[in-house]
Structure 1
């Protein structure tokens, strides 16, 4: 069976999804993407209140009739999960991307409403589980993704998934230009999810220091750290990151692996880590932690979302 392309699934011109990025994604970025024939998603977590989340959906809907979506953290570390899901169902967004947990409830409630569900996966085992649950596609998060990343290269991950699942595969990580997209599509992906290069856009709300860091640093300056959230997170290797290290110390390891403390430790660590990332995104300081993927090696200047997309679709 030939899986549908992302363009066919969402009725868009280009099989390109601007990835949902914590603190970064906003309505201006999504509207620009829709105008260019692409799609985009925003983490529901980017909005503090239900009113703000609803207003974001209304703002996009008033500007375009094209498909857009939201990312939903579906595990217990997200206390707003249930309310956010109810709002996304109520306003019938086009699709939901699930992360960090079982998408069972999301899929069951979205199916009757015609809302698509794409699930983040990093391996075959989890991809098979979400396919069985009824997911419409998987977001295959590879080792070149920014933020929380996988462990496999894009081509290897896509090849393994194609052999074991029959739903569309959207590749996430490492895309910077149209040639990257061609290679990913030739591997058998239905589309691509692109994040890092859009952080350095005019529409991005993060600080100029953060954006300039994406221009100044290169691919070799990206490291994976488990220090912040307990899960592998790709960040720029600034002097502060070098100072605190990228590995858990013995006490942290013991807490995270204790059967008694593990669940609560992960919740607390994730909250503290995201608070640190949030503080760094909007102000300059010696202790900044900036999330990004190896794609920063191709960022030469700060540009508009439309200019960046032009590089992705020029052929």
Structure 2
């Protein structure tokens, strides 16, 4: 196990609640952190940098002394016009963990390390992982097949095994994790932390629309479609929302343009499409309730401890 000092002794469970577009907000982040797991949100969930800064202030004011650290997701892509401004705000607020996506850049890593923060980076292949490791990141998030959001297609067995051949720092695993025994399974595979997204959408604190939450309760693994047609990057979405948004189901392998500047324009047609196309992972079929975050973490904790006891007895 390889946990940085920032996380040692501060987590009730080895879990990070993933940053989710239009879902993660201060209420969800605080509920996670104050119940003992890392809460996170994308900086771009606020339409402008002033709002992003206000969210950081709200989170910092609401964190309990014994709470887990929080994290912010930055899109490191040339089409994101806010990157430099949002990075400067992260530095000013000394954000404990910065999660980077779509680019592992030395400049970002150095800026966060400059105040003692951590950088975790999303990867879907060995090549992506090697490039991020070269940039000096503190952790890699192995986004395996079946994960929601910008997911990969590699089996978690293959992805974890190959990353561990050259990376001995903190490793997180994402993909179909809903229960405490699955958190333990991620550790058995070689990960240090479980990275859970879809399960936290279906909580009472989540900012997802009620129809979004209900669709997760109704969906099964067969409803999840992995496509580059929405954002230009292959990602997992629920079939029902793609159909409702008018996507041609026969052309879902056509790649959309990647442009994060356009996504920030509230009146832009493409931005509206993003709001009506809902992401989820293949683990949706195991989600059948809408608990509070506190109730969910209590259950995960119980399941995790029971699984550890079973594993001990088997040994």
**Fold match by TM threshold 0.5:** yes
SS of match in other structure, 1:140: strand
Is the counterpart of residue 95 in structure 1 residue 83 in structure 2?
A: no
8 Å Cα contact 1:148/1:232 also seen in 2: yes
Is the counterpart of residue 276 in structure 1 residue 273 in structure 2?
A: yes
Shift of 1:220: 1.5
The residue that corresponds to 2:282 in the other structure is 294
Aligned-partner Cα distance in 1 for 2:78–2:227:
22
SS of match in other structure, 1:144: coil
Structure 1 alignment gaps of length 5 or more? 257-264, 281-288
Match of 2:203 among 201, 204, 207: 201
Shift of 1:201: 1.3
The residue that corresponds to 1:13 in the other structure is 12
Shift of 1:240: 3.4
8 Å Cα contact 1:6/1:190 also seen in 2: no
The residue that corresponds to 1:283 in the other structure is none
SS of match in other structure, 1:234: strand
The residue that corresponds to 1:121 in the other structure is 123
Shift of 1:181: 0.7
Aligned-partner Cα distance in 2 for 1:6–1:237:
41
SS of match in other structure, 1:158: helix
The residue that corresponds to 2:310 in the other structure is none
Q: 1:248 to 1:296 in 2, by over 3 A?
A: closer
Q: Deviations over 1:106-131 (max 9, x none)?
A: 10111121010001111122212221
The residue that corresponds to 1:150 in the other structure is 152
After TM superposition, list the pairs within 5 Å mapping 1:177-188 onto structure 2.
177-188=179-190
Match of 2:225 among 223, 240, 243: 223
Q: Deviations over 1:123-155 (max 9, x none)?
A: 122212221221101111111210110111222
Aligned-partner Cα distance in 1 for 2:3–2:282:
29
The residue that corresponds to 1:28 in the other structure is 27
Aligned-partner Cα distance in 1 for 2:258–2:60:
36
Shift of 1:175: 0.3
Shift of 1:229: 1.6
8 Å Cα contact 2:204/2:292 also seen in 1: yes
8 Å Cα contact 2:233/2:258 also seen in 1: no
8 Å Cα contact 2:123/2:142 also seen in 1: yes
Q: 1:202 to 1:27 in 2, by over 3 A?
A: same
- Aligned pair count reads 293
Aligned-partner Cα distance in 1 for 2:57–2:258:
34
Match of 2:248 among 244, 250, 254: 244
The residue that corresponds to 1:306 in the other structure is 294
Aligned-partner Cα distance in 2 for 1:197–1:145:
11
The residue that corresponds to 1:165 in the other structure is 167
Task: Write 1 or 2 for the structure with the bigger share of helix.
Answer: 1
Q: 1:268 to 1:53 in 2, by over 3 A?
A: closer
TM norm structure 2? 0.86
Aligned-partner Cα distance in 2 for 1:7–1:87:
20
TM norm structure 1? 0.86
SS of match in other structure, 2:165: helix
Match of 1:83 among 77, 82, 85: 85
Q: 1:53 to 1:270 in 2, by over 3 A?
A: closer
Is the counterpart of residue 51 in structure 1 residue 59 in structure 2?
A: no
The residue that corresponds to 2:38 in the other structure is 39
Shift of 1:275: 3.5
The residue that corresponds to 1:60 in the other structure is 59
